[in-house]
Amino acid sequence: MQLRKIRLSGSDVPSAEIAFTVGANVLAGQSDTGKSYLLHCLDFILGADELRKRIPEAEPYSQLHVEFQEPLGEYLTLERNLSGGELAVHRCRMDEIVEDGERVIRSRSGSSQAKDLSSVLLPFADMAGEAKLRKNDRGETQRLTVRTLLPIFLVNEIAMIDEKSPVVGDGTFDATARKRMFAYLLSGKDDSGIIAAERRDIIRARDQAKLGLIADLLEPLERKVKSFSDDPNDTIDKVDNAIGSITTELNTTTETRTAVLRNLQTEIAELQRAETQIIAIGEVLDRYKLLSARYKSDLGRLDFIAEGAHYFDGLQEVHCPLCDQPMSRDHLHVAQERSADVYAGARAEASKIKALSTDLSQVIITLEERLADWREGEATSRNNIKDFQERLDRQLAPALSDLNSRLEKLIRRRVELEGARNDKDQLDNLQLMKAEIERTSTGKTGTSKWEPLPSVALRNLCKCIEMVLIEWQWSTEPRVEFDQADFDIVVDGQSRQSHGKGVRSILHSAFVIGLLRYSAEYEKPHPGFVVLDSPLTSYRKSPSVNNGDGPIPPMIEVGFWKSLAEVTSKIQVIVIENKEPPKEVADAVSYTWFAGDDAKDGERKAFIPS
């Protein structure tokens, strides 16, 4: 990003403006011509609280516009009223403004995400708009802002000769942030990843709150632990062993009971089967016995009939029981039933019945044997059932009940002991925590050790400054070092701050231009331009004494002007100076001369036209 134009405008007055080009720009002139006022205008447009220098000639003007251009050719113009207030951003050239522009605040604070000057201008300068810089030893960070960068690209004549660091400047409250800004410019790496330590007063207040809470918790715990006299660890081990033994015994007893129940069920089934068989066999035997009795009755009747046939002939004449006729030889029944036939028939029938009766008797014997076996089995099953039931009721059930009862008691005891041990552990932990908090809260926390500036980048920067000094003919082999304690350069073994104000001014200029060249050569972040106010005016170096003020050695001033003529278009150096550059330099750079009250025709008198 480079500066292109500054313009003051107001009602009924001609605009006051000055333009700048790429490379070197020299603005020279008499005193009181508005040169330094331009620097204050830049400071004001870049977010200063107020315009720190006001001149009578600028009173009719009200509006300030400053135009910037980035390397790709895009323009951005900032606008601010000279009386104060916020800014307007126009993403166009100054002469192309037709609208009010985007309003932005100068800077935001706290957690605000409002768009401000830095969030607009830093990305336009190809820098990280939200880069973080460490601001203290605790590691707290803040945003990189335009105001933080200001000392390294906008140097007024007071800062030029000041003994303060060219990096830190007058940053009393943000010295750490400005040092980290310098580290960011050297390395391109910001402090976004730093985890900040807490503030000591916050830590102390939090520790006090913790101690109060711990005290509230300790009191009841101490009473509870004191009331428990057993050794929790030892007793818990014993109870665990007892629980293990009882659990094993309980499992064994349960398995036994299950086996007994299974046997009981088997015996009950056997008993039911025996009872069923006994009933069925009993029914069959009753029927078979009835049949056997029938067989005996039939045999008796047949025997009677067979024996009775022999007496038919000897029967007296009697009347037939059937027809009540006399039983003569002509009687029909006597004719049909001869005694021999009757006898034979009765015998044959009796033989059949005897055979059947014999088989039946054998079957009855067999059934009675089976009935006896089933009754024996029934009795055995009843005895077994009784034994199983008695074992269940008198042995296993009481044993299980006893084991369960003992196990429940042990578990309750285990819970009590576990609670006692937890209480003891919690008490120990709280006491340790209390001791640790008391120890750390009363002691001082160690100072954080932060990474120093990158040595290689710092050496490269010093080489760039050495090249600047060689061009300015400081010496043929100047040796530049950077003192990280004072955050200032040391040239040829002597710190810049120990020189007179003239040399401090020259070396301050060399540092700022060297940093600009370093950023361009190594592609590191930088706004892209520098503005130096009166780098030569205060210089009075003695040719023989290296640290005093005196006549200006011609070779230093000549070298300074000559180097401006060789500034490349990649950077922009704007020098505001009372002295005029040599003509060949003035012709080679963008040169503007304010002639003041002695202005001749065609010469510009001052920044603000009269």
pLDDT for 527-582, tens place per residue?
999 999 999 875 544 444 444 455 456 788 899 999 999 999 999 999 999 889 99
pLDDT of residue 553: 67
pLDDT band at 104 (very low <50, low <70, confident <90, very high): very high
Positions of CATH 1.10.287 in the chain: 236-315+335-442
Give me 239's structure tokens: 């109870």
Give the dihedral sign, CA 202/204/208/211: positive
Secondary structure class of 64 (helix, strand, coil): strand
Which residue is it, tokens 């104060």?
84
Dihedral class, residue 197 (left if φ above 0, else alpha if ψ from -120 to 50, else beta): beta
At residue 59, φ and ψ (nearest 5 deg) are: -60, -35
Residue-averaged pLDDT of the chain = 88
Give the residue range(s) of CATH 3.40.50.300 domains in the chain: 2-197+452-594
Coil, helix or strand for 27? strand
Q: Are the beta carbons of 185 and 415 closer than 8 angstroms?
A: no
Give the integer Cα–Cα distance in Å for 495 and 498: 6
Helix (H) or strand (E) holding 490: strand 488-491
> DSSP class of residue 105?
B
Residue of 425, 506, 423 lying closest to 471 (CA atoms): 506
Instruction: Check if the beta carbon of residue 28 is closer than 8 Å to that of residue 577.
Output: yes
Spatial separation of the C-alpha atoms in residues 342 and 151, rounded to whole Å: 162
- Show the CA angle centred on residue 285, arms to residues 284 and 290, nearest 5°: 100
Per-residue pLDDT tens for 30-46?
888 999 999 999 999 99
Residue closest to 85 by CA, chosen among 42, 126, 146, 44: 44
**Amino acid in the structure at residue 343:** Y
* CATH number at 2-197+452-594: 3.40.50.300
Whole-angstrom distance, CA of residue 485 vs CA of residue 493: 15
Q: Where are the beta strands (DSSP E) in 246-382?
A: none
CA angle 87, 92, 97 (to 5 degrees): 70
- Torsions phi, psi for 410 (to 5 deg): -65, -40
Distance CA 494, CA 520 (A): 27
Rounded Cα gap, residues 564 and 583, in angstroms? 13
| Phi, psi for 576 (deg, rounded to 5) | -105, 120
This prediction has a pTM of 0.64
The helix (H) or strand (E) run that includes residue 531 is strand 529-533
**Given a cut of 60, is residue 337 above it in pLDDT?**
no
> What are the pLDDT digits (tens) for 123-171?
999 997 789 999 888 888 899 999 999 999 999 989 998 899 999 987 6
pLDDT band at 355 (very low <50, low <70, confident <90, very high): very high
**Tokens standing for residue 205:** 């207040």
The percentage of residues in the chain with a pLDDT greater than 90, rounded to a whole number, is 62
Q: What pLDDT, on the 0 to 100 scale, is given for residue 35?
A: 92
* 140, 196 Cβ separation under 8 angstroms: yes
Q: What is the structure's pLDDT at 394?
A: 94
pLDDT (tens digit, 9 = 90+) per residue, 441-480? Answer: 755 556 678 888 999 999 999 999 999 999 999 989 999 9
Higher pLDDT, 540 or 76: 76
Q: Report the DSSP beta bridge partners of residue 574.
A: 25, 531
- The reported pLDDT for the residue numbered 45 is 96
Question: What is the three-class DSSP state of 516?
Answer: helix
Tokens, residue 321? 């029981």
Predicted confidence band at 230 (pLDDT cuts at 50, 70, 90)? low
CATH architecture of 236-315+335-442: Orthogonal Bundle (1.10)
Chain-centre distance for alpha carbon 379: 78
Q: DSSP assignment of 155-212, as one string? A: E-HHHHH-SS-TTTTT-SS-HHHHHHHHHHHHHS--STTPPPPPPHHHHHHHHHHHHH
* Residue 330, both tokens: 């002509």
Nearest to 591 by CA among 579, 601, 608, 600: 579
Q: Is 26 in contact with 585 (CB distance < 8 Å)?
A: yes
| pLDDT score of 106 | 92
DSSP states of 279-307:
HHHHHHHHHHHHHHHHHHHHHHHHHHHHH
Residue 329 has what pLDDT? 57
Which of 543, 577, 551, 549 lies closest to 474 in space, CA to CA? 543
Tokens of 497: 């701050």
